[in-house]
Amino acid sequence: MKTISAFALAPLAVALLTTADRAAAADASAPPLVPFASLPVAVVAPPPAKTPWGVGAGERVPGLFVRKDDNSPTAMVSGSRLLLDQNSGKGFRRVLEEPETDTTRDFCMSEGERSFGEPTPPPTWGHTANPMLGLFGRDGREHVVAVHMEHVVDETPSSAALEIVDAWVDVSTRGARLIRRSKVPLARVATAPGDIHVYAARDEKEVHFVIVEPRRTVRSWSGIFQVGAEMSQSGCRHARSSLPIERGGAEATTFIVNTEVVTNDAPVIPGGGALGADMKAESVRSRPLRVHASVSWAGADAAPVLAVSMGWEARDRTSTAFRPVKAPTTKR
């Protein structure tokens, strides 16, 4: 592929930052076109073709937590120990009291998937991503499942990175064996109201678009929907869509995400009753935002054309969210 030479170009993250900032200031809905060559080069590797027979019970991958589900023959997997606690009915109060410290949605998990065809296509990572995976035990070698975990790190105004851990998880032993650990550099290509950022990176075959929500201060989040080439829902703080690069071809994806603004005009909720005296109401104004990204390569284009734009998906709504008020610490 002739375009490979373009990948040798160094990422122009600083230039991208300047451009993206200027765009956000001028008109967030119309960020300037991002040159393909300016994106950092990154590879999101697919699952290995060959699955191991088993993973020992004592094998562990740091940062990846595997726990038996209490009520089913299922292994629960997440990068957040707290989330696994919550799955067991613990650890909710802390998140309610300090939602800004909630990292349970930071890790995005997906499972390796095989498809059928002639010749057999290589396995891929599933499109639906959630902070926690439930792996079901199956017969034979299928009790070993490829698990992909990624989370956004190193967030700066211009860039970020996607930290990726791929591992084999044995549902029967709940052991985990590292496949690979990698870090994908991302350049910010657009910013939407509500501190929603869009990042991108490229490799030889795909452009990876990553949309990242801010940490919520209230628990009214409803997820990121992705429609277009694939349809999925992400329960994580970020969602990634990888669009193929093909001369003469094109692909597009649309994320739909809620922007939220906490206002101070919430009605006063009387204390006591079912809510308890320590619950505080907050009025949250939210509006679904449509973030659209695409890659296309027409005959007249020297390189693939990236496009990122955004607009409102629907009208805004106001809802009331509740959070416990922390009792002041008193010294005795």
Partner 1 sequence: MRTKLGIAFMICTVCASGCAGGQAPSVAASSPPAAPSGGAPTCAPLAKSSVVPLGTPRAGSTIVLARAGQRRIAFVADEDARAVTAIDVDEKKELATTPLDGAPSQIMMTADGRLLALLRDRGSLLALVPSGDGALAAQCSVQTASEPVALAAAPDDRTVVVTSGWGRALGAYDAGTLVRRYEVPLGREPRAVVVSDDGTTAFVTHAVGSRMSAVTLGDAPHTVKVIAMRGADPSIMRNMREQRALLGKQSTPPEFREQLEKMEKRAFRSGCQGFALAKSVAPAGRVLAPQVLVDPGDPEGRPEGYGDDHTETEVSSIPVVDERSQAAFDSSLATVRTEILGKREARDHRADCLLPRAAAVDPRTHALFVGCFGIDAIVAYDAASASPATSERRRWIVGAGPTGIAVDPERPQLFVWSQFDRSMSIVPLGDPELREKDAPAQHLEKVAIVGKGQKLPTEIALGRMIFHSAGDTRIASDGRACASCHPDGRDDSLTWATPEGPRRSIFLAGRVAATPPYAWNGSSKTLHEHIGKTFDRLNGSGLRSLELDALVAYITSLAPPPSTGAASDRAIVQRGASLFASKETGCAGCHVPGAGFTDGLPHDVTSKVNADRTARFDTPSLHLVGGTGPYFHDGRYADLGALLRGVDGTMGHTSHLTPTDLAALEAYLRTL
| Closer of 315 and 331 to partner 1 (Cβ) | 315
Residue among 67, 114, 285, 290 that touches partner 1 (CB under 8 A):
290
> What one-character DSSP code corresponds to residue 4?
H
Beta carbons of 169 and 179 less than 8 angstroms apart: no
Site string for partner 1, 243-272 (x = CB under 8 A): -----xxxxx-x-x----x-----------
> Which of 6, 12, 17, 28 is in the footprint of partner 1 by CB under 8 A?
28
In angstroms, the Cα distances linking 265 to 21, 228, 278, 318 are: 31, 37, 19, 11
What single string gives the DSSP state of each residue in 5-27?
A: HHHTSPP-HHHHHHHHHHHHHH-
> Could you give the CA distance from residue 7 to residue 284 in angstroms, rounded to a whole number?
44
**Dist CA 33 CA 307 (whole Å):** 6
Only one of the segments 61-69, 161-169, 200-208, 302-310 lies at the binding site for partner 1 (rule: CB under 8 A); that segment is 302-310
Direct distance between the N- and C-terminal alpha carbons of the chain, in angstroms, rounded to an integer: 73
- Rounded Cα gap, residues 186 and 254, in angstroms: 19
Of 145 and 256, CB closest to partner 1:
256
Q: In angstroms, what is the minimal distance from the CB of 239 to partner 1?
A: 14
CB atoms within 10 A of CB 25: 9
27 binds partner 1, rule: CB under 8 A: yes
Residues 6+ apart with CB under 8 A from 42: 162, 184, 185, 186, 201, 202, 203, 208
What mask of x and - would describe binding to partner 1 in positions 182 to 211, judged by CB under 8 A?
Answer: ----------xxx-----------------
Beta bridge partners of 162: 152, 184
Among 73, 157, 276, 311, binds partner 1 (CB under 8 A): 311
Q: Pick the piece of the chain touching partner 1 (CB under 8 A) from 3-11, 124-132, 157-165, 308-316.
A: 308-316
CB 82 within 8 A of CB 97: no
Q: Which is nearer to partner 1, 153 or 261 (CB)?
A: 261
26 binds partner 1 (CB under 8 A): yes
Does 178 help bind partner 1 (rule: CB under 8 A)? no
Residue 315, token pair as written in the block = 């009208």
Q: Counting contacts by CB under 8 A, is residue 6 touching partner 1?
A: no
Nearer to partner 1, 283 or 309 (CB): 309
Nearer to partner 1, 107 or 225 (CB): 225
Output the DSSP codes for 41-97: B---PPPPSSPPS---TT---TT-EEEE-TTSSEEEEES-HHHHHHHTT-SHHHHHH
**One of 103, 309, 322, 324 touching partner 1 (CB under 8 A):** 309
- Minimum distance from CB of 133 to partner 1 (Å)? 20
Give whichever of 80 and 232 is closer to partner 1, judged by the CB atom: 232
Of the residues 45, 57, 153, 231, which one makes contact with partner 1 according to CB under 8 A:
231
CB of 96 to partner 1, least distance (A): 27
Q: 3-class DSSP state for residue 37?
A: helix
Size of the site for partner 1 (CB under 8 A): 45
**Rule CB under 8 A: which residues touch partner 1?**
26-30, 33, 192-194, 225, 227-231, 233, 248-252, 254, 256, 261, 288-290, 292, 294-296, 298-301, 305-307, 309-315
